[in-house]
Structure 1
Amino acid sequence: MNQLNELRKFTTIVADTSDIESICKYRPEDATTNPSLILQAVNSSINKKFIDQAVEYAVKKGGSRENKIINASDKIVVDLGIEILKYIPGYISTEVDARLSFDKEKCILKAKKIINMYEEEGIDRNRVLIKLAATWESIKAAEELKKSNIFCNLTLLFSFAQARACAESHVFLISPFVGRIYDWYISKNLISKNSFDQDPGVLSVRKIYNFYKKHKYKTIIMGASFRNIHQILSLSGCDRLTISPVFLKYLENSNEKLSRKLIPPSTYITPPSSLTEEEFRWEHNQDEMAVQKLSEGIRNFGKDQLFLEEIFSKFI
């Protein structure tokens, strides 16, 4: 049995791609998208029909030119999500505009708009996860959205404080970014590229996993953003792993033995008191890597959102 099928015994496989061909080939349970992946899809001639549909939708909705561009951008994200859902049995993760990451109410409004757009096309909200950057404001938005049966995937997660706040706010799922943590430590010459046993991204997810399971938090942990196959294999047993096609292919072609690395404890203890906003901000601020990578991630996703809107500005 190949490693991909072995991994499926312990972990739910999620495809980190908007490429339908890859999704059909590797048969993941769920799929995730982000502004960068959406931009790649939009720039493919194969997906021109989605641009046309989005422009038509925006023009029909009316309003100012700015509103039309925003509506077209939202529409293409939803339509690509709907297309992906045809080929997976589980969830599609759809990202909210990163520029809203520090405004709880705007995150809530955008999330509800996206869910309504899915539902207008006959897609049940229980098949959609709204992706939000794991700021304090977005974590609290996710907590509020859950009351409306809208479930969220908190992404760009780098610090233990972010992970703890998500669990304490009963967020549905988190995406710790293994590879981006690793990138930061490599860039600072704090580890070598072959330090597999001390990979800080892997160690971060292991710490979160042990904390969640020990305290019986129900928030799902989905490791994300991998730079090498060792990171994936080291996290076998994690609730979910979202994996790009290049690594899915590697796993499918490998028959090397794979064992479960993350195993929940047999005993449990009472959770600590929830972090206050002040405690969260202080603890997150103490992690230089997390502060830098969260800020960078929000900026870059915001840039990709702007690029997407610039594409639609040519048609509207």
Structure 2
Amino acid sequence: MSVVVADTGSVEAVKAYSPVDCTTNPSLVLAALGEPEAAELLAREIAKGHENGLNVDQITDTLPAAMGATLAALVTGRVSTEVDARLSFDTEGSVQRARAIIADYAARGIGKDRILIKLAATWEGIRAAEILQAEGIDCNLTLVFSLAQAVACADAGVFLISPFVGRITDWHMATSGKESYAPEEDPGVLSVRRIYDYYKANGIETIVMGASFRNVGQVKALAGCDRLTISPKLLEALAQESGTLERCLDPQNAGEAAPIKLDEAAFRWEMNADAMATEKLAEGIRKFDADLVKLKSLVADRL
């Protein structure tokens, strides 16, 4: 029903669960460094960077691609690799960094057809993706919390979007005081279903990859979504279950949805009108940047 993507930079987890695709970013590189294989990889990259006269920032920039090259040897599909969060509002800077990531992978023998450049779904990030897609560099637009972001990504010809589930649910639980939601009324699940149905109803080819799950109920409620990126913890929980998995999303049942057109002003207005999307997008960017700072600090300590 859905292609499974591993939401991890862990080499051990990818070996264990054999997903089609996987992802890497500063947060996942940090999380993976507790593994001997990842720690050894980090040590090699720092030593090589030091020998080549690279500074802390330059060495840190090589780590996601170094980890991604290792993961690419373990999966048959793509490895998503993230552009620095601080470039989320810099179209040209994002394009340049993306090109550098692709070049780094090429130097490691990995072609661009195996990589997805991951960008935050800001207006500037979407414009960067539009440029990169025209160059044949496929993009994964992340931190998608609203239909407005999904529409803008589709208009830009983005290869794949990652609409988040759990973080939307977190926001609604915090603001409503509810302690939980049943899958069929979960705001995060409903958001992804709305995006999926809009895409299928309008013949949009951009792939919808549900992300940021808190429990297996959310995952199962989106069975049939093009792709689902799932953490090793939830993959293990799913592996322990038995029974029939019902398909919940199907292009044949998408219904009808009038096409939406958004220019920059309309996009920014729709985001401004959606407190949840605005807050979670900003928070997500800050968290990605915080982990990049931690990774740089770790590299500096090792140097």
Q: For 1:77-226, what aligned pairs fall within 5 Å after superposition?
A: 77-189=64-176, 191-226=178-213
Map Cα deviations across residues 178-200 of structure 1 (whole Å, 9 max, x no partner): 00000111111254414322100
The 8 Å contact of residues 69 and 313 in structure 1, kept in 2 or not, is answered as yes
Residue in 1 aligned with 2:18?
A: 27
* 1:51 paired to 2:42: yes
Matched residues in 1 for 2:34 and 2:240: separation?
30
TM-superposed deviation, 1:265: 3.2
SS of the equivalent of 1:165 reads: helix
Residue in 1 aligned with 2:272?
A: 285
The 8 Å contact of residues 11 and 37 in structure 2, kept in 1 or not, is answered as no
* 1:264 paired to 2:247: no
TM-superposed deviation, 1:37: 1.1
TM-superposed deviation, 1:267: 8.5
TM-superposed deviation, 1:270: 9.0
Matched residues in 1 for 2:35 and 2:254: separation?
50
Q: Greater relative contact order (Cα 8 A, min sep 6): structure 1 or 2?
A: 1
Unpaired runs of 5+ residues, structure 1, are 1-9
Report the residue type matching 1:92 in the other structure. V
Matched residues in 1 for 2:275 and 2:201: separation?
27
Residue in 2 aligned with 1:37?
A: 28
Matched residues in 2 for 1:275 and 1:60: separation?
49
SS of the equivalent of 2:252 reads: coil
Unpaired runs of 5+ residues, structure 2, are none
Matched residues in 2 for 1:141 and 1:30: separation?
23
Q: CA RMSD in A?
A: 1.8
TM-score, with normalisation over the residues of structure 1? 0.91
SS of the equivalent of 1:237 reads: coil
Match for residue 11 of structure 1 among 2, 11, 14? 2
The 8 Å contact of residues 161 and 283 in structure 1, kept in 2 or not, is answered as yes
Q: Which deviates further from its counterpart, 48-57 or 257-266?
A: 48-57
The 8 Å contact of residues 24 and 67 in structure 2, kept in 1 or not, is answered as no
Aligned residues between the structures:
303
Matched residues in 2 for 1:267 and 1:227: separation?
25
Report the residue type matching 1:110 in the other structure. R
Report the residue type matching 1:105 in the other structure. E
Q: Percent identity?
A: 46
TM-superposed deviation, 1:173: 0.4
